[in-house]
């Protein structure tokens, strides 16, 4: 009798283009397993929005496996304890998995490799991590040369089809019930907006991929317009591995127009993984040491906490910022241009440490990817190895008008829904501030001068 093979799922919740599944299926009967491990990531366990997505993605994966004569085993605990126990219990010949590059998963994979037969596969990115290097053989730190080097290897190999059959073992190990994990919010249930917007799972990802096909050629022309559905909406499906960047590349690479701008965004995600492989603590530590002395406002200060709460709740008096923060709370997602505006506002207008924003996004985004989240926040703050200059301070009011965000604001800030352009972008300046909407918590000019003064303090 051929030994069963354990297929260890993490952020690769799919059957297509799934190298670990194909390898396991070729070696013997397959026992698919997902382990809810909050201990290994420690303070980086999934936030509330991600847990909502995970519940529905696992439910979808279980249904897909059942259709193929298989099922999904759920266990909860530390993977370095649970997987060796499962190997002994099932007499499995090996554990197959897709490589992950968050520092806690890299540590766990090393520890597991000493306890079980761990077979790791490439599969969540366009190329194996470390597949492109500088002329001196070191990893890239800057995005543009990274893009040039990686694009020379594109297109990636054709996505792999799902196996024709997934043989079941003679007997199944015990499994937790998904509903017992408490991944969904209940008191209160704040996920109604997410349920209306998203369909987690491989089928939902494939639908988004197909939907984007009709817009891919116009990506650069529409991606910065919050009032237009110009982005791909693929990021949470990428994050949970329900679709792969290789699938997206092959689906859209011939779209023409400005599709290369989209492909560069896919490579930016790849670049972010490259960064955290070099700097595992990138989510909590400035890459530029000079910023360790930056005079951020005191996190214990009551006024700072009040401003942080206003930002989180979308009550800053800056309509484009508030629309984005409310969209985030309602849907678990925020338009990319608005993410940059909202992040810059927190860092430079409110002078609040970027890590406070990174943590809020970690908890509230359905696409809360450790690498992308950290790299994007450090890029905005000017603290990253490749980043915007701190002195380039976004003007949210002019950004709102430039990118025609009026309808976006009307949707997410209903207090302003009756205002027309240009008043809606800055109702206070135009004397059109409704009673229900707050005045600005800080003036743009005063905030800009405060930020530049703080920056001069570390430049000497």
- Joined tokens for residue 191: 């996920």
Query: 102-134 pLDDT, tens per residue?
Result: 999 999 999 999 999 999 999 999 999 999 999
Q: Is the dihedral of CA 421, 422, 423, 424 positive or negative?
A: positive
What's the CA gap between 73 and 451, in Å, rounded?
52
Mean pLDDT of 396-414: 97
> pTM above the 0.85 mark?
yes
In percent, the amount of the chain with pLDDT more than 90 equals 98
User: With 70 as the cut, is the pLDDT of residue 460 above it?
Assistant: no
Greater confidence (452 vs 1) lies with 452
User: With 70 as the cut, is the pLDDT of residue 1 above it?
Assistant: no
Q: State the CB neighbour count (10 A cutoff) for residue 197.
A: 14
Mean pLDDT of 362-380: 98
What's the CA gap between 277 and 130, in Å, rounded?
9
Q: State the CB neighbour count (10 A cutoff) for residue 119.
A: 19
Query: 168-190 pLDDT, tens per residue?
Result: 999 999 999 999 999 999 989 99
In percent, the amount of the chain with pLDDT more than 70 equals 100
Query: 42-55 pLDDT, tens per residue?
Result: 999 999 999 999 99
Where in the chain are the domains?
5-123, 125-156+187-278, 289-459
Give the model's pLDDT for residue 414: 98
Give CATH for domain 289-459. 1.10.579.10
List of residues 6+ apart from 146 with CB closer than 8 A: 132, 140, 267, 270, 271, 274
Give the model's pLDDT for residue 459: 87
Helices (H), 114-253: 143-151, 192-197, 202-212, 219-222, 235-239, 245-252
* Arithmetic mean of pLDDT over the chain: 97
Give the model's pLDDT for residue 430: 97
Instruction: Tell me whether residue 418 is exposed, middle or buried, using C-beta atoms within 10 angstroms of its C-beta: 0 to 12, 13 to 18, 19 or more.
Output: exposed
Give the model's pLDDT for residue 284: 97
Mean pLDDT of 262-282: 98
Q: What is the CATH topology of the domain spanning 125-156+187-278? A: 1.25.40
- Tokens 């002395």 sit at which residue? 293
Class of domain 5-123: alpha beta
Mean pLDDT of 340-347: 98
Antiparallel, parallel or unpaired: β 118-121 and 94-98: parallel
């Amino acid at each position: 009798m051929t030994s069963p093979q354990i297929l260890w799922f993490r952020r690769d919740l799919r059957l297509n283009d799934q190298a670990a599944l194909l390898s396991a299926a070729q070696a013997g009967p397959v026992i698919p397993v997902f382990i809810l491990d909050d201990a290994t990531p420690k303070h980086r366990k999934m936030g509330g929005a991600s847990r909502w997505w995970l519940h529905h993605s696992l439910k979808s994966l279980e249904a897909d496996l059942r259709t193929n004569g298989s099922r999904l085993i759920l266990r909860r605990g530390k993977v370095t304890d649970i997987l060796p126990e499962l190997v002994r219990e099932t007499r499995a010949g090996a554990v197959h998995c897709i490589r992950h590059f968050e520092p806690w998963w890299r540590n766990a994979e090393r520890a597991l490799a000493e306890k079980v037969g761990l077979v790791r596969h490439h599969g969540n990115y366009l190329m194996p991590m470390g597949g492109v290097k500088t002329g001196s053989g070191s990893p890239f730190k800057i995005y543009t040369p990274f893009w040039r080097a990686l694009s020379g290897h594109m297109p990636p190999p054709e996505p792999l089809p799902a196996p024709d059959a997934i043989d079941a073992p003679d007997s199944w190990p015990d499994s937790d019930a998904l509903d017992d994990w408490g991944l969904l919010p209940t008191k209160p249930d704040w996920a109604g907006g997410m349920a209306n917007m998203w369909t987690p799972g491989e089928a939902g990802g494939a639908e988004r991929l197909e939907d984007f096909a009709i817009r891919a050629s116009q990506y650069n022309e529409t991606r910065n317009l919050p009032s237009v559905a110009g982005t791909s909406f693929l990021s949470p499906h990428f994050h949970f591995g329900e679709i792969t960047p290789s699938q997206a590349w092959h689906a859209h690479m011939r779209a023409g127009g400005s599709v290369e701008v989209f492909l560069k965004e896919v490579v930016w995600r790849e670049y972010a993984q490259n960064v955290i492989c070099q700097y595992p603590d990138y989510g909590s530590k400035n890459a530029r040491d000079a910023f360790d002395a930056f005079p951020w406002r005191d996190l214990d200060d009551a006024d700072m906490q009040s401003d942080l709460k206003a930002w989180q709740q979308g009550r800053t008096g800056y309509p484009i910022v508030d629309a984005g923060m409310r969209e985030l709370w309602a849907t678990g997602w925020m338009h990319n241009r608005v993410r940059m505006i909202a992040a810059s506002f927190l860092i430079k207008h409110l002078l609040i440490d970027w890590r406070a924003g990174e943590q809020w996004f970690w908890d509230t985004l359905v696409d809360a990817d450790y690498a992308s989240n950290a790299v994007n926040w450090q890029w905005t703050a000017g603290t990253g190895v490749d980043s915007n200059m701190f002195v380039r301070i976004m003007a949210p009011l002019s950004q709102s008008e430039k990118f025609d965000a009026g309808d976006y604001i009307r949707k997410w800030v209903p207090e302003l829904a009756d205002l027309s352009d240009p008043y809606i972008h800055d109702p206070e300046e135009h004397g059109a501030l409704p009673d229900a909407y707050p005045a600005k918590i800080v003036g743009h000019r005063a905030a800009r001068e405060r930020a530049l003064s703080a920056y001069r303090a570390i430049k000497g």
